[in-house]
Copies of this chain bind each other. A is one copy, B any other.
Amino acid sequence: MNDRKETSDSLKTRQGRKDFLYNIIFESDTPEGKAFDIVLMVCILVSVIIAIFGSTFTAEWLKKTVFFLEYFFTVFFTLEYILRIYCSRNPKGYVLSLFGIIDLLSILPMYLGFFLPQIQYAIIFRCLRLVRVFRVLKLFSFLTEGNVLIQAILASWKKIAVFFMFVVLLVICLGTLMFMVEGNHEGTMFDNLPNSLYWAVVTLSTVGYGDITPVTTMGRFLSAIIMLLGYTILAVPSGIISAAFIRGTGRPVNKRCSNCGRSSHDKDARYCKYCGTRFEDDVDHMD
């Protein structure tokens, strides 16, 4: 009996420890949870900054500090990952969730680095930690309220796909045209077709590096027309997305008044704005 009580106590303690850790790691409303979130965010940001700028440091002591910090953060994030699995109420669900995979991917590179020396490009995985800042800041709730951003892009992807195929055709036509006009010039920068197409993309997208530029009067005249043309054409995706946003945010299509039959009511409307009838289908959301 004493033994059983001990086990029960031990169980309680273990469960208590789990709950204690859960409060720290998963919760963010408690003081401990908030403190942990802040520590985590600082670690993430510092580790990402080190991942990016670490390779540019030349001073010996800085290199050593970076080396030490990378090890420290890897150990820290590994510990955090293990504790998350330990205290999670659904360990399997966590491991297989998007965040579980991101957490794992962002600590793997360091360990693989022991075996594969050319893993320096694994910085992308290390930078995946940044996604976790979204979680800490609960930024995803920004997105999910209405799902406006994602819905707007999804609603317009077909139009954008067609638009891009059209742009690719245009780039090939304009690039070849400029290759014909500028290509014969002595010391020309339009020396082959791929470079001309690259120039066409750089110009149409209004990036304009200036590494390839027309020098003949004819070439400059033509590229001036291309620029103005390109600007108007590239106003199209802006228009597509704007339209998607406005429709996406403006009206929930399926809310319709049972009395006057008119729709285009706001999401938060409880009464028809035209005839004053109460919306029945909204009752369960209200109390």
A261 on the B face (CB < 8 A) = yes
Please indicate the chain B residues that have their CB under 8 angstroms from the CB of A13 in the complex.
none
Q: Are B268 and A176 in contact (CB under 8 A)?
A: no
Q: Are A276 and B268 in contact (CB under 8 A)?
A: no
Residue of B nearest to A265 (CB): B273
Nearest CB on B from A280, distance (A): 13
Interface string of A105-141 (1 = CB under 8 A from B): 0000000000000000101100100110110000100
Nearest CB on B from A60, distance (A): 18
Best-surrounded residue of A52, A148, A287 (most CB of chain B within 10 A): A52
Q: Are B124 and A172 in contact (CB under 8 A)?
A: yes
Which segment, of A26-34, A66-74, A83-91, A200-208, faces chain B? A200-208
Q: What separation, in Å, do the CA atoms of A121 and B177 have in the docked complex?
A: 8
Nearest CB on B from A215, distance (A): 8
One of B162, B177, B195, B209 near A149 (C-beta < 8 A): B162
Contact surface of A with B, Cβ cutoff 8 Å: 48, 52-53, 55-56, 121, 123-124, 127, 130-131, 133-134, 139, 142-143, 148-149, 152-153, 158-165, 167-169, 171-173, 176-177, 179-180, 192-195, 197-198, 201-203, 205-211, 213, 217, 220-221, 223-224, 227-228, 230-232, 234-250, 256, 261-278, 282, 285-287
Please indicate the chain B residues that have their CB under 8 angstroms from the CB of A143 in the complex.
162
Q: Are A205 and B192 in contact (CB under 8 A)?
A: no
Q: Are A149 and B176 in contact (CB under 8 A)?
A: no
Please indicate the chain B residues that have their CB under 8 angstroms from the CB of A153 in the complex.
236
Known interface pairs A238-B239, A264-B268, A271-B274; 15 further A-B residue pairs with C-beta atoms within 8 A, sorted by A's residue number: A52-B193, A55-B193, A56-B194, A121-B179, A123-B172, A127-B169, A130-B168, A131-B169, A139-B162, A152-B239, A239-B245, A240-B245, A242-B245, A243-B246, A265-B273
Q: What separation, in Å, do the CA atoms of A233 and B42 have in the docked complex?
A: 28
Given contacts A227-B205, A242-B245, contact A220 B236 (CB under 8 A): no
Q: What separation, in Å, do the CA atoms of A169 and B106 have in the docked complex?
A: 14
One of B168, B176, B245, B268 near A263 (C-beta < 8 A): B268
Q: What separation, in Å, do the CA atoms of A264 and B153 have in the docked complex?
A: 24
8 intermolecular pairs with C-beta atoms under 8 Å apart: A124-B172, A130-B172, A149-B159, A164-B232, A197-B224, A209-B213, A270-B275, A271-B273
Q: Are A206 and B205 in contact (CB under 8 A)?
A: yes
Given contacts A52-B197, A208-B207, contact A237 B232 (CB under 8 A): yes
Q: Are B123 and A139 in contact (CB under 8 A)?
A: no
Q: Are B52 and A172 in contact (CB under 8 A)?
A: yes
Please indicate the chain B residues that have their CB under 8 angstroms from the CB of A208 in the complex.
202, 206-210
